[in-house]
Amino acid sequence: MSNSKARILIIEDDEDLSQLLALKLRSNTYDIVTLFDFVGIEDLLSKESFDLVLIDRNLPSGDSLEKLKILRKKGFIEPVIFLTAKTLHEDLLDGFEGGCDDYICKPFKFNELLVRIKALLKRSQRVFDKLNFKNFILDLENRNLFHDDREIKLSNLEFELLKCFFENQNTLLSRQFLSENVWQNDLTSDKSINIALSRLKNKLPQIKTHILSIRGVGYKLC
């Protein structure tokens, strides 16, 4: 991930600090969005994509840690760095246990924050290049599948099908959804989808029982 593509959300109620961070990060070619409180964050993250979130631990609406826990439970996976005046070891442990990926205490040097941002973006990019389900790992860069460290070659259609299911685990996917997201059109026949899934299940018996067919509706990976 290059800096020019990385998008960072700053949630900091100290307006001067927020503006300073935004200015310096933009000078390092990051795309920056700022908020002064956690209010509306869930709606924003549902509509927009961010590579990293910087969050002040204490905001007008309360302790960000409790709100982060809620976001994590709802499936939001954006990397998070807490910026905080809480310096006790117990506070640090609470932060990591609550779902943050890094923790930096105020006051801090900007260069230290920048190094941590770069490291976390690099680490999270490696994670996002792969999708996991059970003992399966789908390598998005090389378009391969691994099961218990054994590589399984996939056709383009098989890869796109698995990618769609792995990205939407435990979610009922209609045939219309599969048609639009895998075949990239809305005209794919039910027969074509059923045949493709049948072949995929036969090729991957380990995953066969996890792809459920909901009669007349669609499929679910669970």
Q: How do residues 167-193 score in pLDDT, each as one tens digit?
A: 888 899 999 899 988 998 878 888 999
In the chain, list all ranges with CATH 1.10.10.10: 131-221
At residue 204, what is the residue type? Answer: L
Provide the pLDDT for residue 77. Answer: 82
| Residue 202: band (very low, low, confident or very high) from pLDDT cuts 50, 70, 90 | very high
Q: What is the pTM of this model?
A: 0.57
Whole-angstrom distance, CA of residue 110 vs CA of residue 61 = 26
Q: How do residues 108-126 score in pLDDT, each as one tens digit?
A: 999 999 999 999 988 877 5
In the chain, list all ranges with CATH 3.40.50.2300: 3-128
Provide the pLDDT for residue 126. Answer: 57
Whole-angstrom distance, CA of residue 71 vs CA of residue 155 = 36
Provide the pLDDT for residue 129. Answer: 75
Q: Look at strands 80-84 and 52-56 and give their pairing.
A: parallel
CATH architecture of 3-128: 3-Layer(aba) Sandwich (3.40)
Q: Specify the 3-state DSSP secondary structure of 209.
A: coil
Provide the pLDDT for residue 174. Answer: 92
To the question of domain 131-221 being in CATH 1.25.60.10, the answer is no
Q: What is the mean pLDDT of the chain?
A: 88
Mean pLDDT in residue range 147-157: 88
Asked if residue 3 has pLDDT above 70, the reply is: no
Whole-angstrom distance, CA of residue 222 vs CA of residue 170 = 5
Provide the pLDDT for residue 128. Answer: 61
Asked if residue 25 has pLDDT above 70, the reply is: yes
Provide the pLDDT for residue 122. Answer: 84
Name 150's bridge partners: 147
Asked if residue 162 has pLDDT above 80, the reply is: yes
Please tell me which residue, 174 or 135, carries the higher pLDDT value. 174
Closest CA to 120 of 136, 133, 104, 109: 104
Please tell me which residue, 194 or 89, carries the higher pLDDT value. 194
Asked if residue 196 has pLDDT above 90, the reply is: yes
Whole-angstrom distance, CA of residue 164 vs CA of residue 92 = 37
